Structure 1
Amino acid sequence: MTDSLLTVDQAAARLGTTARFPRRLIAERRIAFVRVGSHVRIKESALVAYIEGNTVQPIRRRSRLGRAA
């Protein structure tokens, strides 16, 4: 299986942000990236791992019986 290399603009589109956000992630070394000559690419799997690693799960609370919300 080959892992696609995404440009910064493509990664930003998948994240729903501007290109500045993935560039900042790269500069802060918060996401894995590949340098191809003078170009920077992000592996699709690295982007998925970043999203999964920063996904916050909802808190499940036990309901109080007999009380209204």
Structure 2
Amino acid sequence: MSSRLLSIEDLSEHLGVPVNTLYKWRGKGYGPAGRRVGKYVRYRPEDVDAWVEAQGVA
């Protein structure tokens, strides 16, 4: 994965999870750590990778 910040749509495609599910996860404090960039939420690829590893998913 590249080092650019991921949008929620990018994350959805990468994980194969619907965008609405990602918003629900975020509201519940679940899922990869997201950061606010202005009015947008962005995800660092290394945070996503670490979260996936913690889930035990290959």
- Considering the TM-score relative to the shorter chain, is it more than 0.5? yes
Secondary structure of 2:43's counterpart equals strand
Structure with the bigger RCO (C-alpha within 8 Å, sep 6+) is: 2
Q: Closer, same or farther in 2 for the Cα pair 1:8/1:56, shift >3 Å?
A: closer
Structure 2: 5+ residue stretches without partners: none
Report runs of 4+ in structure 1 exceeding 6 Å deviation: none
Aligned match of 1:47? 48
Secondary structure of 1:6's counterpart equals coil
Q: CA RMSD in A?
A: 2.1
Aligned mates of 2:15, 2:28 — CA distance in 1:
17
Structure 1 residues 31-51: Cα deviation after superposition (integer angstroms, max 9, x where no partner): 211101111111111111111
- Size of the aligned set, in residue pairs, is 56
Aligned mates of 1:24, 1:47 — CA distance in 2:
16
